[in-house]
């Protein structure tokens, strides 16, 4: 499944246009990544502000397409979660 446009927009607003990654394995020990993102660069694998909406908990492991399960990640953090 995929997030609805409304869910992605709400998550984007919540993030303030910045990467929400807090994974210690990504070297975000004390703070979230915080990389500045560009709305129009969703799904791009490179370039300034590239990002994707990511499921915190996989839909294959009881996750859902809800806002609480949606996080906005810069492409660098996103690709490390795949």
Written as one string, the DSSP assignment of the chain is ----HHHHHHHHHHHTSB-----GGGT-SSS----B--GGGBT-SSSTT-EEEEESS-GGGT--SSGGGEEEEEHHHHHHH-
pLDDT per residue over 35-59, tens digit each? 999 999 999 999 999 999 999 887 6
**pLDDT tens for residues 10-35?**
999 999 999 999 999 999 988 999 99
Mean pLDDT of all residues belonging to the chain: 92
Q: How far apart are CA 48 and CA 19, in angstroms?
A: 13
């Amino acid at each position: 499944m995929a997030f609805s446009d409304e869910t992605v927009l709400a998550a984007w607003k919540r993030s303030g246009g910045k990467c929400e990654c807090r994974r210690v394995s990504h070297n975000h020990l004390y703070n979230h990544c915080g990389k500045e993102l560009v709305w129009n660069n969703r799904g791009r694998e490179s370039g300034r502000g590239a990002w994707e909406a990511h499921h915190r908990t996989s839909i294959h492991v009881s996750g859902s397409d809800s806002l609480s399960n949606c996080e906005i990640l810069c492409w660098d953090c996103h690709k490390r979660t795949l």
